[in-house]
Amino acid sequence: MKNKMEINDFSFTYKGAKAPSLKHISLPVECNKVTAIIGPSGCGKSTLLRSMNRIHDLYPGNIYDGEILLHNKKDEPSQNILDIKKENEFIKLRQKVGMVFQKPTPFPMSIFDNIAYGLKLSGQKNKRKLQELIEKSLHKVALWEEVKDRLNDDARGLSGGQQQRLCIARVIALKPEVILFDEPTSALDPLSTLAIEEMIFELKQDYTIAIVTHNMQQASRVSDYTAFMYLGDLIEFGATETIFIRPTKKQTEDYITGKFG
């Protein structure tokens, strides 16, 4: 199994909008690789990412067309996530496909509870096991040393970069199969950005990653594949090196060389 997700001829129209925001997108998301989605503001890159865990459905009335396949582990059959209708299936999907947002979003509770929240929801009641999982995920995002003595402090007291790493820890504690990053560093300083980029590079050993970014350097640094989008169309997709060094489409080249966007 090479691809974790496959987006096939996918179109998306926001509620009440006349024209679709995404038009016939086809894009593979390969297992244990980082796929970056780049493009100017309003090109639909976030809309596409937010379709991949159906977070759009928080605001009902949008129209989906085409399919987004999620290939499950080994024996289970693949699933078209656009068919999901029941709330418990949505919950399962979001536990498999986690998401990290642009602005750090610590919950109004302690550092410990921020991670415990999702774990408890997924059925983990054992206190010792909780403790263990929380410590492990904090280690993974290199936050453990900084917070181990104040796990019961309010998470909103952490710095922006620490908050974002906590949000990532919160997602990976649930052992998702895919992690979606929606411009995860655009609200952070350069040092915190570097820390998160390094983390993404390590996370791909265990997870499949899709990242939306405004920052082309970031895309070229962290990703294996890059998709360039413009006005709701997927213009070009390929290995990151190819896209950045020898793009085949003129629009891609213009964007990457900074002529527009």
Regarding 161 and contact with other proteins (CB under 8 A), the answer is no
Regarding 156 and contact with other proteins (CB under 8 A), the answer is yes
Q: Which amino acid is at 142?
A: A
Comparing CB distances to other proteins, the nearer of 33 and 54 is: 54
Of 19-27, 170-178, 206-214, 250-258, the segment contacting other proteins by CB under 8 A is 170-178
Of 84-92, 126-134, 138-146, 252-260, the segment contacting other proteins by CB under 8 A is 84-92
Q: Name the DSSP class of 259.
A: S
Regarding 103 and contact with other proteins (CB under 8 A), the answer is yes
Report which of 211, 235, 205, 179 is spatially closest to residue 53, judged by C-alpha positions: 179
Comparing CB distances to other proteins, the nearer of 38 and 171 is: 171
Comparing CB distances to other proteins, the nearer of 2 and 120 is: 120
Phi-psi label, residue 151: left if phi above 0, alpha if psi -120 to 50, beta otherwise: alpha
User: Please, which contacts does 144-147 make with residues 24 or more away whose CB atoms are closer than 8 Å?
Assistant: 147/111
Q: How far is CA 17 from the centre of its chain?
A: 25
Of 30-38, 107-115, 219-227, 238-246, the segment contacting other proteins by CB under 8 A is 107-115
Q: How many angstroms separate the CA atoms of 64 and 11, rounded?
A: 6
Regarding 102 and contact with other proteins (CB under 8 A), the answer is yes
- Residue 53: count of CB within 10 angstroms of its CB: 23
| Residue ranges in 44-83 that form contacts with other proteins under rule CB under 8 A | 53, 55, 58
Q: Where are the alpha helices (DSSP H) in 105-234?
A: 111-121, 127-140, 144-147, 160-172, 190-203, 216-222
Regarding 109 and contact with other proteins (CB under 8 A), the answer is yes
- Whole-number minimum distance, CB 228 to other proteins, in Å? 25
Regarding 107 and contact with other proteins (CB under 8 A), the answer is yes
Q: How far is CA 222 from the centre of its chain?
A: 13
| Residue ranges in 200-259 that form contacts with other proteins under rule CB under 8 A | none
- Whole-number minimum distance, CB 108 to other proteins, in Å? 4
Among 22, 38, 99, 158, which residue interacts with other proteins (rule: CB under 8 A)?
Answer: 99
Regarding 94 and contact with other proteins (CB under 8 A), the answer is yes
Comparing CB distances to other proteins, the nearer of 167 and 235 is: 167
Mapped onto helix, strand or coil, the DSSP state of residue 129 is helix
Report which of 28, 27, 24, 29 is spatially closest to residue 9, judged by C-alpha positions: 24
DSSP output for 56-69? GGGS---EEEEEEE
Binding site for other proteins (CB under 8 A): 53, 55, 58, 87, 91-92, 94-95, 98-99, 101-103, 105, 107-109, 117-118, 121-122, 154, 156, 167, 170-171, 174
